[in-house]
């Protein structure tokens, strides 16, 4: 017996975006590849490695494209993401998050057999079970210490607490101490460029001081990792930074452009939507709400339409405020939305509909979607 009532066939390759049903997640591959080349070139020019965060794209296909363009490997926010990327052939994987609990330790040992991960730790309580399990399996895993450089999230305090943990890690069986990281995520949206530069440099100086203390204590510190899209152009200029994690840059979004003032990169990710209701002249409702788009970090925008404001999203409705010049829009008309924050938008979708030159050329899974463990 057929139980599926899903008659929506996959769109044919060669289709234009207007031939796709809405809402759906569309990726312009030419734009994404240009963004990838731009970030890789900026890092390469400074001799800084690029380890792009994959939390935003969740795709081994994209991670491989980044590596092909010169990235060192990838950064992940979840062990599950690292597993997906490793299965897709990406070996050098920083899991820039804390891995706790016996289930994950077992999975990390399995991951170490097929890839070369780097874990981030900020306590012995995290590192000891990993070291023990790796040693029992006859393996070693690289570990870096996440230092709190002002974000006040995870991380050791700079100075003596970090030094003490590094000393313990450098002697721990099953662990290869590989360096430090910090994330200057609290400084991305400072409006004044001079202030932003000074504050990011001051935060990264904490990593420099820490590295100096480690080296003085005879502990090599090859990795100094930091940075997101909103800061990487500053962070790559810092003398002690060896690699940056900027990831969302490949998609670009309204948050990076307008709040972080990231120049040059173009919008690769869009969501076509359809107007489903015109309750008043000033108001249009689209078929995309919070289950399609994200508003928390930064509201989405309508591409090329400064006369339309995304005013409010409920679960499955999006409310647009129309200036007089936009009030001719009708039910059935389509618009193109640029995600406010690509990271939290992609996580809502199953597929990337990939375009080149305005034609659908592929459909990729958002492979690590739902890999929250």
Nearer to ligand PLP, 246 or 329 (CB): 246
Nearer to ligand PLP, 161 or 185 (CB): 185
Nearer to ligand PLP, 22 or 235 (CB): 235
DSSP string, 58-99: --HHHHHHHHHTT---EEESSHHHHHHHHHTT--EEEEEEE-
In three-state secondary structure terms, 336 is: strand
Q: Which of residues 219-238 bind ligand PLP (CB under 6 A)?
A: 228-229
Nearer to ligand PLP, 158 or 228 (CB): 228
Give how many residues touch ligand PLP by CB under 6 A.
Answer: 13
Contact segment (CB under 6 A) with ligand PLP among 190-198, 211-219, 240-248, 281-289 equals 240-248
Nearer to ligand PLP, 284 or 348 (CB): 348
Cβ neighbours of residue 98 under 8 Å, at least 6 residues apart?
Answer: 120, 121, 122, 126, 146, 154
Binding of ligand PLP by 301 (CB under 6 A): no
Binding of ligand PLP by 56 (CB under 6 A): yes
Q: Which of residues 183-212 bind ligand PLP (CB under 6 A)?
A: 183, 185
Binding of ligand PLP by 177 (CB under 6 A): no
Four-residue CA torsion sign, 75, 80, 83, 89: negative
Nearer to ligand PLP, 96 or 175 (CB): 96
> b/e per residue, 348-363, with b = 16+ CB within 10 A?
bbebbbbbeeeebeee
Contact segment (CB under 6 A) with ligand PLP among 58-66, 243-251, 281-289, 295-303 equals 243-251
Q: How far is the CB of 229 from ligand PLP (least distance, A)?
A: 4
**201 close to 240: Cβ distance less than 8 angstroms:** no
Binding pattern to ligand PLP, positions 328-347, x when CB under 6 A?
Answer: ---------------x----
DSSP secondary structure code for residue 339 in this structure: P
What gap in Å lies between CA 265 and CA 238, rounded to an integer? 21
Bridge partners of 337, per DSSP, are 271, 302
Binding of ligand PLP by 117 (CB under 6 A): no
Instruction: Tell me phi and psi for residue 309, to 5 degrees.
Output: -115, 130
What gap in Å lies between CA 120 and CA 130, rounded to an integer? 11
Cβ neighbours of residue 304 under 8 Å, at least 6 residues apart?
Answer: 336
Binding of ligand PLP by 248 (CB under 6 A): yes
Among 53, 104, 112, 257, binds ligand PLP (CB under 6 A): 53
Q: How far is the CB of 56 from ligand PLP (least distance, A)?
A: 5
Q: Which residue has the tokens 């796709």?
A: 20
Binding pattern to ligand PLP, positions 59-98, x when CB under 6 A?
Answer: -------------------------------------x--
Residue ranges that bind ligand PLP, judged by CB under 6 A: 53, 56, 96, 183, 185, 228-229, 245-249, 343
């Amino acid at each position: 017996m057929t139980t599926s009532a899903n008659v929506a066939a996959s769109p044919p390759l060669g289709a234009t975006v207007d031939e796709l049903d809405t809402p759906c997640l569309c990726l312009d591959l030419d734009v994404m590849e240009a963004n990838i080349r731009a970030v890789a070139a900026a890092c390469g020019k400074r001799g800084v490695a690029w380890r792009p965060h994959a939390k935003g794209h969740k795709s081994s296909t994209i991670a491989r494209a980044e590596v092909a363009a010169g990235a060192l490997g990838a950064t992940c926010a979840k062990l599950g993401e690292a597993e997906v990327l490793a299965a897709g052939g990406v070996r050098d994987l920083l899991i820039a998050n804390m891995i706790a609990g016996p289930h994950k330790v077992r999975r990390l040992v399995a991951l170490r057999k097929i890839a070369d991960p780097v874990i981030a730790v900020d306590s012995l309580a995290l590192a000891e079970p990993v070291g023990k399990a790796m040693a029992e399996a006859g393996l070693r895993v690289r570990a870096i210490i996440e230092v709190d450089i002002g974000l006040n999230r995870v991380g050791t305090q700079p100075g003596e607490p970090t030094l003490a943990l590094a000393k313990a890690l450098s002697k721990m069986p099953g662990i290869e101490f590989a360096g430090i990281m910090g994330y200057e995520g609290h400084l991305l949206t400072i409006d004044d460029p001079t202030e932003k530069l000074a504050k990011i440099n001051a935060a990264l100086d904490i990593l420099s001081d820490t590295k100096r203390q480690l080296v003085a204590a005879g502990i090599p510190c090859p990795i100094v990792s930091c940075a997101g899209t909103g800061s990487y152009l500053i962070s790559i200029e810092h003398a002690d930074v060896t690699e940056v994690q900027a990831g969302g840059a490949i998609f670009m979004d309204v948050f990076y452009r307008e709040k972080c003032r990231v120049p040059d990169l173009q919008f690769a990710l869009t969501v076509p939507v359809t107007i489903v209701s015109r309750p008043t002249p000033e108001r249009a409702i689209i078929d995309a709400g919070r289950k399609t788009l994200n508003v928390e970090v930064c509201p989405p925008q309508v591409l090329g339409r400064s006369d339309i404001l995304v005013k409010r999203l409920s679960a499955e409705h999006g409310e647009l405020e129309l200036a007089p010049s936009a009030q001719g829009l009708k039910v059935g008309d389509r618009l193109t939305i640029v995600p406010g924050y690509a990271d939290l938008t992609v996580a809502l979708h199953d597929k990337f509909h990939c375009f080149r030159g305005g034609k659908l050329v592929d459909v990729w899974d958002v492979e690590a979607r739902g890999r929250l463990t």
